[in-house]
Amino acid sequence: MRCLWALPVFVVLVGCDAINPTLRYQEVARQLRFTLDRVDARIDLAFPPERSHLRILIDVGVDNPSDQWLRTRHVAGELHLKAQGCDYALGSVSFPQGAEIAPKGRSTLKVEVALGYNDLKTAWGPLSGAVMRHEPATWSLAGEARFEALGIEFGVPFHTQKESGR
């Protein structure tokens, strides 16, 4: 006769990590700290103004305090500018390449974004103030980092911001 009662005791003794090892990766990914390290914006003016565009170089730092290696599959978010008392949605930002995130280390995700004048009409004045005249502004990026562990994909939300100007 088989001892079927031994199976539940085994599950209790080894814990959930043995049943679903991706839980460990998910917990480690939730410990990551994202920072908006660099927002280098440049306005390329053209005539007519509809041909003008904004180029932004963005660096997002990722601190990993754990002992576990991680690799992002995809990182994306919404870029906003808060200036002159208003919040302006500038568009979506996607970091096209996955990144290795070393244990007890820091990694940097880099991307260049080009946004057209037609997409930014309502924010053009505050943008030019923040970029060309260095007026106070806050850049923010809110999104999700996607990971895969042992064939299971999961996401971790993040929000980070950076002050600029005087």
**Is 45 inside a domain boundary?**
yes
The ranges of the chain with pLDDT < 50 are 1, 6-7, 9-15
What local confidence, expressed as pLDDT, does residue 11 receive? Answer: 45
Q: Check: pTM over 0.75? Answer yes or no.
A: yes
Q: Which two tokens stand for residue 97?
A: 């390449």
Per-residue model confidence (pLDDT) at position 151: 85
Residue pLDDT, tens place only, 49-80:
888 888 999 999 999 999 999 999 999 999 99
The answer to whether residues 36 and 93 touch, using CB atoms and an 8 Å cutoff, is: no
* pLDDT number for residue 144: 97
Q: Which pLDDT belongs to residue 3?
A: 52
| In-domain check, residue 1 | no
Q: Say if 129 falls within a structural domain.
A: yes
Q: What is the predicted pLDDT for the residue at 74?
A: 92
Given CA atoms 46, 48, 49, 50 in this order, what sign does their dihedral have?
negative
- Give how many domains the chain has, as a whole number: 1
Instruction: Name the 3-class secondary structure at 92.
Output: strand
Is residue 11 a part of any domain in this protein?
yes
Strands 70-83 and 152-164, by their bridges, are unpaired
Q: How many CB atoms lie within 10 A of CB 103?
A: 12
Which range of residues forms the domain containing residue 45? Answer: 6-164
Q: Could you tell me the CATH number of the domain that includes residue 76?
A: 2.60.40
In a domain, 68, yes or no: yes
Is 109 a member of any domain?
A: yes
Indicate whether 58 belongs to any domain.
Answer: yes
Residue 30 in domain: yes
